[in-house]
Chain A
Amino acid sequence: MKPAVVIFAETYETRLKRPVLEVVSEARRIADALGGTVHAVLVGVRDEALASQLAQQGADYVHVFGQPALAAYATEPYARAVAKVATDTDATAVLFSMTALGKDLAPRVAAKLDAGLVSDCISLSVSEGRLTARRAMYSGKALATCEWTGGVHVASLRPSVFRLGATDPNRGAETLTEGIDDTSARAKVVGREARDASTVELTEAQIVVSGGRGLKGPEHFHLIDELAAAMGAAVGASRAVVDSGWKEHPFQVGQTGKTVSPAVYVACAISGAIQHLAGMSSSKVIVAINKDPEAPIFKVANYGIVGDVFEVLPQLTKAAEAYFSGKD
């Protein structure tokens, strides 16, 4: 049997999440290096369109667990499903995205397989049939290279870091109808309140605009919202802003908040404490706007503007509106 790379295809309201497509792309790259195949695991949905999307992104097989009892996510049965495919295919690697769901599911699957898990990887490489992974430690102050000592390589991949491969509309995959005997769950979702669907998800955004304490009060945070809207960006906040109650915790970027890796991170009136840098230092390009030229944020920034956010942000919003409307 060819080496199998298994990926968990997380869905959100019958769509594949973008981080899943990144994981499939990376799985394809690894499978090619191993001379192997990519197996996607789709649980709780029976949708040909999703299977063909996974195929076009690089999957060779799509294992569909379409049992109605699996419609809503629950850790235990989903872990059984992924572990079943990993066992049946004698998987070399099992990959997840480090989303809230991936963070919940991956360790449970690793324990079932008695396998090692490397979490929140920022790169993977293959040498002599084995994987090594790189990941950040100590709030991004160090980078670790990790290896597995044997067994299945289980890894979760940081969203927005791995390159999305090209899709091939002519690529097909074999769809396999799967099932698990025990669909029971002792812990399950009984309700769900979606936040405003028009806002861009922080961890998946290509551009993030974040505000800090230099905005002086919640009544000024609209300056951040407006710039974010003009740039099609997600809104983030520093810990100081969240701890002061100006913004809720889901907006927090940093050590005790979210880790983001957008193409552009715009830090507005954020001094750049290490707790904040921990959550955004893997961004591709960092822009800092701060009135204090000595603020530590300028040490990690690619572009800096020393200035008053109350003067700069309205101008930047106007310029961004013109730029992005002209672009479309």
Chain B
Amino acid sequence: MKIIICVKQVPDTETQIRLGADGKSITEEAVKWIVSPYDEFAIEEGLQIREARDGEVIVVSLGPERAQSAIRTCLAMGADSGVHLLDAAFDDLDAMGTARCLAAAIRQLEPYDLVLTGQQGVGGDNSQIPGLLAELLDLPQVTMAVKVGLGDDSANVEREVEGARERWQTSLPAVISAQKGLNAPRYASLKGIMKAKKKPLDVKDAAALGLDPDVLLPKTRIVKLELPPPRPAVKMIEGDPGQQSAELLRLLHEEAKVI
């Protein structure tokens, strides 16, 4: 079974965000970069499937030079090989452009059985790549999976929606995106980290993917990035618990007018 996993390198959630001079991006200095946490669920699922059924796990990531360390992290967890999509032409891609590059890279890996992704990349939080990829590759999709059971040419997938848990069935190959709850991602072992250094890692640019830069022109773009307005100072409510409770309800009703 050949499993392709798309991962994204993102700023650690704890990282303090500083705005760039262009007013549209963040400064990258002092940012700690990690593999997007949802992608770790995808990696873990791919590794578990490989351990149960044999096969190979290939990691694909698009990003600048630094993204190579995210791919190495996945290789250290146990993935077999990596593909790094790297080109100056990829610097200003939107989600659609990113999906086009990933789709082109995935097509070059045919035949494959499964494409796994995180359900969203933290930071951007667009949650678009799984659906865009599935349409571009003409594959079925099941998003936000919390349980995956594989047959030979089909998969049973569970996903949480508002108020219910759904059971889905899909033919393979398919795109499945991972939600928290799917599994508990492993840590890379020291031995894994050593082995990762020797695992194959291909680097591909737009030409290698056969992509005309014109199809990568962004359809959406950020024109301004700003810090959120500061929230008003907190009003502390004094008194004993009974008084505090009565005062809180009064304030919510009379001052905030929300109840």
Contacts and interface: CB of A to CB of B under 8 A. Distances in A.
Interface of A: 12, 17, 75-76, 79, 99-101, 103-108, 110-112, 114-120, 132, 136-151, 185-195, 197, 201-204, 207, 231, 249-250, 252, 255-257, 263-264, 274-275, 278, 281, 284-288, 298-307, 311-312, 314-316, 318-320, 323-324
B220 A149 contact: yes
A231 B157 CA distance: 36
A117 B220 contact: yes
Contacts of B236: 298, 303-306
A193 B157 CA distance: 13
B132 A111 contact: yes
Contacts of B231: 286, 299-302
Interface string B34-45: 000110000000
B125 A319 contact: no
Interface of B: 11, 13-14, 16-17, 19, 26, 37-38, 94-96, 99, 119, 122-132, 134-136, 139-144, 146, 156-157, 159-171, 174, 180-181, 217-228, 231-232, 234-237, 241-242, 244-246, 248-249, 251-253, 256, 258-259
Given A104-B131, A142-B228, A187 B170 contact: yes
A126 to B, nearest CB: 15
Given A105-B131, A116-B94, A288-B234, A187 B180 contact: no
Nearest to B127: A103
A139 B234 contact: no
Contacts of A274: 13-14
B220 A305 contact: no
A315 B170 contact: no
A138 B123 contact: yes
Given A108-B131, A108-B141, A307-B244, A249 B160 contact: yes
Contact of A187 (B128, B142, B217): B142
B141 A112 contact: no
8 contacts: A118-B220, A119-B127, A137-B123, A256-B38, A287-B248, A302-B232, A302-B234, A303-B234
A203 B162 contact: yes
B26 A142 contact: yes
Contact of A138 (B17, B142, B235): B17
B219 A148 contact: yes
Given A140-B228, A187-B142, A316-B244, 4 more contacts: A100-B144, A141-B16, A186-B171, A195-B163
B167 to A, nearest CB: 4
